[in-house]
Structure 1
Amino acid sequence: MSQLVTLKIDGMTCASCVARVEKSLLKVEGVDAASVNLATEKAQVRVGDLENVDTYIPHLIKAIEKAGFEASRLECLKKTQKPSFFDLHGPYAVLLSILLSLPLVLPMVLMPFGWHVMLPASVQFLLATPVQFILGSRFYIAGFHGLRSGSGNMDLLVAVGTTAAYGLSIYEWYLSGWGNPHQIYFESSAVVISLVMLGKWLEMRAKKETTAAISALQALWPNEAKVLAQQSLENLDYRNYQNLAIDQVIPGDWVLVLPGERIPVDGVILLGSSEVDESMLTGETQLIAKEPAALVTGGSLNGSGRLVIQAQGVGEESTLAKMIRMVEDAQAEKAPIQRLVDQVSSWFVPTVIVIAILNFLVTYFFFETFETSLIRSVAILVIACPCALGLATPVAIMAGTGVAAKSGILIKDAQALELAHRLTTIAFDKTGTLTIGHPQLMTYKNVSLDSLDDLILLSLAMGLQVGSEHPLAKAIIDYGEQQSVTPQVFRDVAIQSGKGIQGICEDGPYSEQSLSLLSHHAWLEIIKLSNPILAQQYQQEAEIELSKGHSVSWLVLNQQTALGMFAFGDQLKPGVKEVIARLKAMQIQTVMISGDNRIVAEMIAKQVGIDRVFSQVLPADKAQLIKQLKSEHVEAYVAMVGDGVNDAP
């Protein structure tokens, strides 16, 4: 049975680097297939049936190093490393190269204005030499490795072209007796290196932006997990645990998760209850109540309760790891134009060099002097250096994605740019894309029997929620602050997991009495036991808001009497209806794919005019739905519009 090995590769800068690594890997005996991802700097290698794949990895690494790159086995979910302060591929090297090249270009810039100045040859030599051989050393190294692996690359062309211009300048300077000859070309070699360095840096920056989704997903993962030594629910000692690295946790381990911590593994709750923020998975801001036997996902945020979880999915088998792989696989797919560039670049470099040599031979033996023939051949090499394949493509992509980013559009890959004009269907996430993404207090209703003032009702609800990080708590407090309402003071405030919050009021009309802010479901469960008829009335009272897709909470006195009803909802973003209308006018089908419940999803879709709705959908299912939409028509092109990392796949 074949096995898949993932390696981390450093030093790749362009499409020809990818082709060179893939070519080197495929030469290794036992390799069935190899795919290199420039964006994530990873290589996935499928090898044959081996007893011990670990002994085979050094052969793969050696093949990559022979091609001129550094390689290592990828650690499980390894965090992104920060770059060093100064390196020959970074912005400071590019800036220094430009600053050294500017004085060489300045005479040509001033010439149209009638200012004829010329730097002494010695000064030009001092400015160009560090650019050529220090800042530009990367091109010599990469070009040499390319030659050694039997493939010409853009780095080789840059090295040959700029060295020819630099060498010709030294030759002309020597012929003039080390004076100040008119025809020297130090500025050509320095400027070409600076331009190509700038292009490669822009490409590298664009590449880092494409990995932002992966970095955001990886940031959700804790470095360690609290693994309990005891695996018995009787007299469980919560203090007896050890902090293990996340890749040392195995299925079956009991993991302790304290309030406010991120859950480190996929698993099932054995003990405890809490509310869990799964927005990284579903995109929805509402906290999900979790009880024993409920499933939890690694990377989600635990709320107020303490949980004991039995690990099920760990490492590469976890939901978060699968999401990361889905993003990487999507980024690894090459755009049609990129595949064409790969094919052309493999022939472009040797073709240019052959043309330059032929030009020199023909012009020298049949038409011109040695010096003129050399100058023309050098011109061919220099002109070909910052070609469209190496510079214009990344600059164009950067310009396009930059303009889109200013409008709030983050483009995942180059293929999306190429195929956008063919779109037949656009699928939208709901929360944060069509809506603002933050619950708001839409309305509240006073249902007390003792003529309680509306603002006092609001101040009581605010007082209970002071200090809470729950999204609904923030909604109440924000609304109250807009109304200039001062919250009442409470003590002994405690969160009732999956139900709401409770505390003792210290002042006002309900001083020293217990007040609770409960979910609609929790309040109905309580009141049904004592007064089923009243419970039915409360249900009818809330039905209007529930039918609008709002969530309902109740302010309750002493767990017996309802004082007020609070309805929360999410508002549409400005201009959403107009955008959907314009898409329909362009004959583009609109679809909404949401992790929210059916009632809320259909209500939002009806408001904005969405054609089709899919609700209660997880990220892995979103990707499958996109494939389903693409398969409905032969010429269907589908786009997915989302606002968060949960939409990245």
Structure 2
Amino acid sequence: MPTSRTLDLSISGMTCASCAGRVERALGKITEVQQVSVNLASERAHVSFVEPLDSARLIAAVNQAGYTASLPCEPVERDAERFRQLRHERWAVCLALALALPLVAPMLVQPLGLHWMLPAWAQFVLATPVQFILGARFYQAAWKALRAGASNMDLLVALGTSAGYGLSLYNWATAQPGIEPHLFLEASAVVIALVLLGKYLESRAKQQTASALRALETLRPEYAWRVVEGVEQRVAVSDLRHGDLIRIKPGERFAVDGEVVEGASHADESLITGESLPVPKHTGDRVTGGAINVDGLLVIRTLAVGGETVLAQIIRLVDDAQSAKAPIQRLVDRVSQVFVPVVLVLASLTLLGWWLAGASLQTAVLHAVAVLVIACPCALGLATPAAIMAGTGAAARHGILIRDTEALEQARRIDCVVFDKTGTLTNGSPRVAQMAALDGDDNSLLMLAGALQQGSEHALAKALFIECAARQLTLPTVSDSSVLSGRGIVGTVGQSPLRLGNQRLLEETGLSPGPLAAQARAWEEEGHTVSWLMQAGTQPAVLGLLAFADTLKTGAAAAVAALQREGIECYLLTGDNLGSARRVADALGITHVTAQALPADKAQLIAQLQQDKKTVAMVGDGINDAPALAGADVGIAMGNGTDVAMQAAGITLMRADPRLVPAALHISRKTCTKIRQNLFWAFIFNVVGIPLAAFGWLSPVFAGAAMALSSVSVVSNALWLNRWRPRNLQ
């Protein structure tokens, strides 16, 4: 079976939405390509394909379409290249404005009663370098588009300014001796200067929209101090391997994910999780690559390197989200495919209409030029990706990773949030609060229960281990153990087949609580989670009862209250007993409670809510939450949860703070609002500007200014998202 792969390409030469669409179509024509998404703002193409297709064929297809493709370079090299490009654009803009200003100066001073005009030869000397040297990029890109049988923004600019320039030369050449010809060189020069200015400001703004990703990329150190037999060695991070000991000095960044084996300190994880306060780190604690070691000397053992690290995964998720195409962008793509050809037709009709109406050829050409210039679809192509890049970047800075744009769009429509309990609304660090053994031997009960849970990462298992360690109990070995999803665990300790689980497992085993029934009810009413230890096999019997207590997370009540203020219904969905679920729900003000739910039951409740016309977000952290996370309109995984849960979710919260749930929905709504605003402004400039230009109420100079303003306004509007802060965390 062919192997599927994905590849990112850097694309240069794109100027508008139709360019991005043409690159997509060029790549999509390759048989092995399964899916392609081109992002104008990030100038990236994300391609899914099956082997044996290689990058050379993909690059060749893009080059043949009239653009330049290459494999993405390292962040440092990419930033250096962008800096060089910005510097080149800045000089081009300054020179173009300096040459165009004397041409437009007479028009600017006319309201002051000053009437003068540069001689024709001076206008020609000033305008020609702007037209053919500084404006060469438009001719080159237009020619590439025409050669590929397509059209783009550059074609509109090249045609419009060339028409004004050519008409001026014609008037100059045919002017009567002694009569100053009517030239329009200032219009062509100023349009090019303004377009260049708009592209420069647009490039600067696009760099700012990607600032969050660049900030994450710069967190990775290049070198680390590896400790070998007590001796420090400075090595490249790429040379580190699992199990290496790394010494981290105060003020240095952790080079890898690891576990503290020596020392104590605090870690500043603000750029990774959004947590503003340094987190204490002691022996046995996990540390995350990219965080800053604040005040102590630490030695850590490497647990993850390269692409395995949390930071690498975060960068990959943010990059994928920023490169992805929002569903609403499909409408823009369809419009952009026909936009430039339609504008060319409208410009031709404008020229013909004015000429047939009796206007001079000069007037008709000027109005047609204005139509061509005002209609450039730059803003249309930037409207959606610029907002997505800024929104996902702002979210990432505060510990909210939006994995895909589908989740982003769905999140703004959420009217129902379903919470898991343990590890989501509670701390997920329960303790053994009570126990009752039928034979009166609590230690034996603990040892058997702890033995069954050996190797388990479940929160209740950890509580058992802690209690056994506190009582200095030695756990016997277990064999043939397996997890019963949503019910408990089974295994053999010594010669005894045992079961440990909830009320559902007790009923499946065919047992009744017996004399422990009243005690179980009392503990459940107190909000404890109850587990039964049972003898299985030919003589099943209840051996005892354990009760676990958990505490609510700081911020759980604030999160639920914030959602309810927005008119969003909150549900509690847990595999735990009803008493424990009710206690948590009552403390948080949640009225809809479903307890003792298996993973399939959780997914079924999500489906039922969706059938009731609700748009549902599921918040969870465990393997048993994965089906519900995947089935919800938006799955939100807590960052302290399992990899399975995070893979099934569209949004991941990098720290286990429930208040990030309303924050995630809020930034999604804000981002989608910016997308709609941007599309409105992008369309309104054309919807209003084209008729004004066609009817002669907009000169080419003002058309160029409006076109540049549209692109800058769209990206600047998106950049307001960089100021976003989670309201309920301030």
TM-score band (shorter)? 0.5 to 0.7
TM norm structure 1:
0.58
Mapped partners of 1:188, 1:256: distance in 2: 64
* Structure 1, 77-86 or 180-189: larger mean CA deviation: 77-86
Contact 1:32 1:48 in 2 (8 A): yes
User: What are the superposed Cα offsets for residues 227-268 of structure 1, whole Å, 9 maximum, x if unpaired?
Assistant: 45x4xxxxx2232x2421x44445454444333211111233
1:3 equivalent in structure 2: 5
Code of the residue aligned with 1:290 in structure 2: it is K
Contact 2:9 2:45 in 1 (8 A): yes
Alpha-carbon distance change, 646 to 391 in structure 1, aligned in 2, over 3 angstroms: closer
Alpha-carbon distance change, 204 to 361 in structure 1, aligned in 2, over 3 angstroms: same
User: What are the superposed Cα offsets for residues 20-76 of structure 1, whole Å, 9 maximum, x if unpaired?
Assistant: 3222222344222222233333222222133xx7xx222222333333433332246
Alpha-carbon distance change, 388 to 315 in structure 1, aligned in 2, over 3 angstroms: same
> Which residue of 44, 47, 50 corresponds with 1:48?
50
Contact 1:352 1:381 in 2 (8 A): no
1:262 equivalent in structure 2: 253
Contact 2:46 2:323 in 1 (8 A): no
Contact 2:257 2:305 in 1 (8 A): yes
2:271 equivalent in structure 1: 280
1:74 equivalent in structure 2: 72
Mapped partners of 1:582, 1:270: distance in 2: 41
Following TM superposition, by how much is the alpha carbon of 1:90 offset from its aligned partner in structure 2, in angstroms?
A: 2.5
Contact 1:40 1:328 in 2 (8 A): no
Contact 1:166 1:186 in 2 (8 A): yes
Code of the residue aligned with 1:35 in structure 2: it is S
Following TM superposition, by how much is the alpha carbon of 1:79 offset from its aligned partner in structure 2, in angstroms?
A: 6.0
1:243 equivalent in structure 2: 235
> Which residue of 287, 290, 312 corresponds with 1:321?
312
- Counterpart of 1:40 in 2: which secondary structure? coil
Code of the residue aligned with 1:389 in structure 2: it is P
Following TM superposition, by how much is the alpha carbon of 1:293 offset from its aligned partner in structure 2, in angstroms?
A: 3.9
2:58 equivalent in structure 1: 60
Following TM superposition, by how much is the alpha carbon of 1:113 offset from its aligned partner in structure 2, in angstroms?
A: 4.4
Mapped partners of 2:74, 2:302: distance in 1: 17
User: Is the aligned partner of 1:638 residue 2:629?
Assistant: no
Mapped partners of 1:46, 1:84: distance in 2: 30
Mapped partners of 2:179, 2:386: distance in 1: 41
2:432 equivalent in structure 1: none
User: What are the superposed Cα offsets for residues 109-128 of structure 1, whole Å, 9 maximum, x if unpaired?
Assistant: 33344433222111211221
User: Is the aligned partner of 1:390 residue 2:378?
Assistant: yes
Contact 2:262 2:283 in 1 (8 A): yes
- Counterpart of 1:183 in 2: which secondary structure? coil
Alpha-carbon distance change, 21 to 625 in structure 1, aligned in 2, over 3 angstroms: closer
Code of the residue aligned with 2:271 in structure 1: it is M
1:218 equivalent in structure 2: 217
Code of the residue aligned with 1:14 in structure 2: it is C
Alpha-carbon distance change, 223 to 644 in structure 1, aligned in 2, over 3 angstroms: farther
Alpha-carbon distance change, 643 to 105 in structure 1, aligned in 2, over 3 angstroms: closer
2:25 equivalent in structure 1: 23
1:556 equivalent in structure 2: none
- Counterpart of 2:169 in 1: which secondary structure? helix
Mapped partners of 1:39, 1:146: distance in 2: 20
User: Is the aligned partner of 1:302 residue 2:302?
Assistant: no
Contact 1:341 1:389 in 2 (8 A): no
Alpha-carbon distance change, 48 to 348 in structure 1, aligned in 2, over 3 angstroms: same
Contact 2:244 2:302 in 1 (8 A): yes
Alpha-carbon distance change, 325 to 397 in structure 1, aligned in 2, over 3 angstroms: closer
Alpha-carbon distance change, 46 to 38 in structure 1, aligned in 2, over 3 angstroms: same
Code of the residue aligned with 2:146 in structure 1: it is L
Contact 1:266 1:295 in 2 (8 A): yes
Contact 1:423 1:639 in 2 (8 A): no
Following TM superposition, by how much is the alpha carbon of 1:581 offset from its aligned partner in structure 2, in angstroms?
A: 11
Alpha-carbon distance change, 588 to 102 in structure 1, aligned in 2, over 3 angstroms: farther
- Counterpart of 2:253 in 1: which secondary structure? coil
Contact 1:265 1:312 in 2 (8 A): yes
Mapped partners of 1:101, 1:180: distance in 2: 24
- Counterpart of 2:221 in 1: which secondary structure? coil
> Which residue of 381, 384, 387 corresponds with 2:369?
381
Mapped partners of 2:301, 2:185: distance in 1: 67
Mapped partners of 1:336, 1:415: distance in 2: 7
Mapped partners of 2:94, 2:383: distance in 1: 17
> Which residue of 340, 345, 350 corresponds with 1:349?
340
Alpha-carbon distance change, 619 to 385 in structure 1, aligned in 2, over 3 angstroms: farther
Mapped partners of 2:177, 2:27: distance in 1: 50
Mapped partners of 1:144, 1:272: distance in 2: 64
User: Is the aligned partner of 1:123 residue 2:115?
Assistant: no
Following TM superposition, by how much is the alpha carbon of 1:273 offset from its aligned partner in structure 2, in angstroms?
A: 4.2
User: What are the superposed Cα offsets for residues 473-505 of structure 1, whole Å, 9 maximum, x if unpaired?
Assistant: xxxxxxxxxxxxxxxxxxxxxxxxxxxxxxxxx
Alpha-carbon distance change, 93 to 47 in structure 1, aligned in 2, over 3 angstroms: same
Alpha-carbon distance change, 278 to 627 in structure 1, aligned in 2, over 3 angstroms: closer
Mapped partners of 1:155, 1:386: distance in 2: 12
User: What are the superposed Cα offsets for residues 591-642 of structure 1, whole Å, 9 maximum, x if unpaired?
Assistant: 9xxxxxxxxxx9xx99xxxxx999995399899888599xxxxxx9932399
1:145 equivalent in structure 2: 144
Code of the residue aligned with 1:385 in structure 2: it is V
Following TM superposition, by how much is the alpha carbon of 1:394 offset from its aligned partner in structure 2, in angstroms?
A: 6.5
Contact 1:275 1:305 in 2 (8 A): yes
Q: Which consecutive unaligned segments of at least 5 residues does structure 2 have?
A: 391-396, 418-554, 572-584, 590-617, 622-636, 654-662, 669-720
Mapped partners of 1:220, 1:646: distance in 2: 22
Contact 2:267 2:293 in 1 (8 A): yes
Mapped partners of 1:398, 1:39: distance in 2: 6
2:134 equivalent in structure 1: 135
Following TM superposition, by how much is the alpha carbon of 1:375 offset from its aligned partner in structure 2, in angstroms?
A: 5.0
Alpha-carbon distance change, 299 to 169 in structure 1, aligned in 2, over 3 angstroms: same
Identity within the alignment, % = 40
Contact 2:44 2:323 in 1 (8 A): no
Alpha-carbon distance change, 277 to 46 in structure 1, aligned in 2, over 3 angstroms: same
Q: Which consecutive unaligned segments of at least 5 residues does structure 1 have?
A: 231-235, 403-408, 427-571, 592-601, 607-611, 630-635
Greater RCO (Cα-Cα under 8 Å, separation 6 or more): 2
- Counterpart of 1:13 in 2: which secondary structure? coil
Following TM superposition, by how much is the alpha carbon of 1:338 offset from its aligned partner in structure 2, in angstroms?
A: 4.8
1:12 equivalent in structure 2: 14
CA RMSD after TM alignment: 5.0
TM norm structure 2:
0.52
- Counterpart of 1:45 in 2: which secondary structure? strand
Following TM superposition, by how much is the alpha carbon of 1:303 offset from its aligned partner in structure 2, in angstroms?
A: 3.5
Contact 2:75 2:214 in 1 (8 A): no
Code of the residue aligned with 2:203 in structure 1: it is M
Alpha-carbon distance change, 349 to 202 in structure 1, aligned in 2, over 3 angstroms: same
Q: Counterparts in 2 of 1:151-230, with a 5 A limit?
A: 151-176=150-175, 181-228=180-227, 230=228
1:562 equivalent in structure 2: none
Code of the residue aligned with 1:67 in structure 2: it is A
Alpha-carbon distance change, 325 to 100 in structure 1, aligned in 2, over 3 angstroms: same
Mapped partners of 1:613, 1:417: distance in 2: 15
2:639 equivalent in structure 1: 618
Contact 2:36 2:46 in 1 (8 A): yes
Code of the residue aligned with 2:27 in structure 1: it is L
Following TM superposition, by how much is the alpha carbon of 1:318 offset from its aligned partner in structure 2, in angstroms?
A: 2.0
User: What are the superposed Cα offsets for residues 344-375 of structure 1, whole Å, 9 maximum, x if unpaired?
Assistant: 232222233344456667887x7769xx4475
Contact 1:25 1:64 in 2 (8 A): yes
